Chains A and B, each alone.
Chain A
Amino acid sequence: MTGQIVFILILAVAVWLFSKNVGKIRRNIRLGRDTNRSDNPALRWKTMAKVALGQSKMGRRPFAALMHLFIYAGFVIINIEVLEILIDGVFGTHRIFSKPFGGVYDLLIGGFELLALLVLVACFAFLSRRNIGRLKRFTGVEMTAWPRSDANYILFIEILLMSAFLTMNAADHKLQLLQFGHYIKAGSFPVSSLIGPLLPNNTAILEVIERGCWWFHIIGILAFLNYLPYSKHFHILLAFPNTYYSNLNPKGEFSNMPSVTNEVKAMLDPSFVPPPAEAARFGAKDATDLTWKNLMEAYTCTECGRCTSVCPANQTGKLLSPRKIMMDTRDRISEIGKGIDKNGQDFKDDKSLLDNYISREEIWACTTCNACTDACPVNINPLEIIVELRRYAVMEESQAPASLNNMFGNVENNGAPWKYPAADRLNWSKES
């Protein structure tokens, strides 16, 4: 009975804390400007099913895709086991699913064990790629101490959780064979039965191990749940809404700013009366000038670096790294969120996304080639943020590089980016 009360208390606190922190991220995302991403729900569901659920964009790197699939399948399917643990914890039962599921239960537990083993294999593979193999994709200026530790913590926690799960089963299985107490024969244990011989035969100790691992496993999962909002691992949740709200237009298409359309119409036609609009900046100086979708993407990013590894600017040694753009955006909007928590809704500081986080040198190095957006397994678009920052630099500050100002001047005066008179436009037809 005490066990049940303790369990329910821990569960309640964990769920409360998690919802509180998720609520903060949700609030932060909603600090962004509005954008409409609710059209064409059928295609949106399809995109989500394909890209997030079906992991369709992972295949380009087959080894990482396979290892990731192990962990992904492990996470999704072992959740059935977690559900059983939650019910057992609340009602003080043991392996409650074993009776109603009958023979299927053996299959389930056996399957979970195999998955747990595959998760362990993948976690060790990932750890060694990061720390021993030192894959280039996991280095770079933005991969400072915290992002690197974050990645290792996640893998480490997953290894601990899976080990606890298997050890728990091993002890349970042994107790079952010894026909001890309430440990009725249930489940098949293809992996943990191999650990069994390493455990003592004393039923009292076995029961301590079984219970200890049970508690460690479930408290570990609840703690991990509460680690998510602080971690890049949050992608396991946001990947789904983020792909649902994907950009469905051709990648080459950039948004036409309606605020500019009104001004241009008024310029071309003096009788045009623009609809009243709220005074907002052109482009983005700070994270709050971006759309909620940009901010959602920033929280979805799991820092895998596929974008940066295909970026032509980054590959040729320029400062620009699309992953850094996303991480900077997330860090800045989180900073603003913390400021609001402390000082209220009107919080202002003297920092901004442009200059304090992302430098001019970075934004001007982009070729807008869309390699980053194409590479992202969860359809994040760093390019849109870069263009919004450029829009601010150009339209609010007139701070484009000098050569681009020349180009603007040429387009404006002679209708071509080069200094050729429009009257010469047909000269190509005269020679051959």
Chain B
Amino acid sequence: MAEMAAQGKEPEILFWVGCAGSFDERAQRITRDICKILHHVGIGFAVLGTEESCTGDPAKRAGNEFLFQMQAMVNIQVLDAYNIKKIVTGCPHCFNTIKNEYPGLGGNYEVIHHTQLIQQLIDEGKLKAEGGESFKGKRITYHDPCYLGRGNDVYESPREALEILDADLVELKRCKSNGLCCGAGGAQMFKEPERGVKEINIERIEDVLESKATVVASACPYCMTMLRDGVKGKEKEQEIEVLDIAEITVRANGL
């Protein structure tokens, strides 16, 4: 972004990569795939790079409102300095925080999640499912991330992105507003779970096994980690693939 600004240019959209998308190896691949989609359709975008910082989401959910607001205000200063108007995020947690919680602190942007962008591009005819891997007839299911689904009522965009694949789509028994959490939200990602009889991601993977899907799609880096660990825990890595909607889109289009 700094380079673009130095050249006096403004991006059509800012891609907010997020911490997982920046540092987590698995999520980095999703980040690169989102970039591929943006390049493919010719959207001029920028990333903040080293100037990006945690939105403060995990701090806020864990009760550290001070730390959250410190992060938020610094981020808002950076975003406003670059005159950012529109943001696409690779993570439902960043999406929710910037979209819903930054306006009250003075940060007003049009914020969309990458699955919403993909849906728009499909609707505009700019993205199809051709030229790449065929998902035809593959049994695919979708796990709703809490902060995309219940948190912000985004249920249809990711599903539309799957519908063009001509695949055998199947819903999990707990889906949409009744979807089961992967277990990572509310800062659980960063701590050990409390005492119990089972891990939440194992409970969730059992829903996936029941659906007999061979691909479970998601749209959140935390869900990605939890679902993959769940698949590993059930020793089903050979049978079940966990993929982000962006990765599926890239594969289907051979980008």
Binding site for B on A (CB under 8 A): 60, 249-254, 256-257, 260-261, 263-265, 267-268, 282-283, 310, 312-313, 315-320, 361, 364-371, 373-374, 387, 389-395, 400-401, 403-404, 406-408, 411-412, 415-418, 420, 422-429, 431-432
Contact = CB atoms under 8 A, between A and B. Distances in A.
17 contacts: A256-B101, A313-B196, A315-B180, A316-B197, A316-B202, A318-B195, A361-B194, A368-B61, A371-B181, A415-B53, A416-B22, A418-B23, A418-B24, A425-B50, A427-B23, A428-B22, A431-B28
B87 to A, nearest CB: 16
B191 A364 contact: yes
B96 interface: yes
Interface string B4-29: 00000000000001010111100010
Interface stretch (B62-70, B121-129, B232-240): B62-70
Interface string B185-218: 1111111111111111011000000000000000
Interface string B37-80: 00000000001011011101011111111110111011000000
B101 A267 contact: no
Which of A317, A364, A392 has the most B CB atoms < 10 Å from its CB?
A364
Contacts of A368: 61, 146, 185-186
Contact of A391 (B56, B65, B105, B180): B65
B31 interface: yes
Given A254-B61, A265-B73, 6 more contacts: A250-B100, A256-B105, A261-B105, A408-B62, A415-B52, A420-B23
Nearest to A360: B194
Contacts of A411: 54, 56, 58-59, 67, 71
B177 interface: yes
Contact of B67 (A318, A361, A408, A418): A408
Contacts of B146: 252, 367-371
Contacts of B197: 316-317
B158 interface: no
A388 B71 CA distance: 20
A427 B181 CA distance: 30
A256 B50 contact: no
Nearest to B52: A425
Contacts, number: 218
Contacts of B58: 407, 411, 417
Interface stretch (B135-143, B149-157, B159-167): B149-157
B69 A264 contact: yes
A426 B47 contact: yes
Contacts of A282: 65
A254 B101 contact: yes
B251 interface: no
Given A250-B100, A426-B50, A312 B151 contact: no
Given A313-B194, A316-B196, A412-B67, A60 B178 contact: yes
B62 A394 contact: yes
Contact of B203 (A315, A373, A374, A420): A315
Contacts of B19: 415-418
A404 B62 CA distance: 8
A366 B186 contact: yes
A212 B203 CA distance: 57
A261 B101 CA distance: 12
Contacts of B188: 367
Contacts of A268: 70, 73-74
5 tightest CB-CB pairs across the interface, nearest first? Answer: A252-B151, A390-B63, A317-B197, A368-B186, A415-B53
Interface-centre pick from B146, B147, B178 (highest chain A CB count, 10 A): B146
A417 B189 CA distance: 10
Contact of A404 (B21, B151, B190): B190
Contacts of B179: 371
A134 to B, nearest CB: 20
A374 B187 CA distance: 20
Given A251-B150, A252-B152, A417 B190 contact: yes
B17 A428 contact: yes
A364 B49 contact: no
B85 interface: no
A257 B105 CA distance: 10
A256 B100 CA distance: 10
B180 A371 contact: yes
B32 interface: yes
B64 A394 contact: yes
Nearest to B32: A432
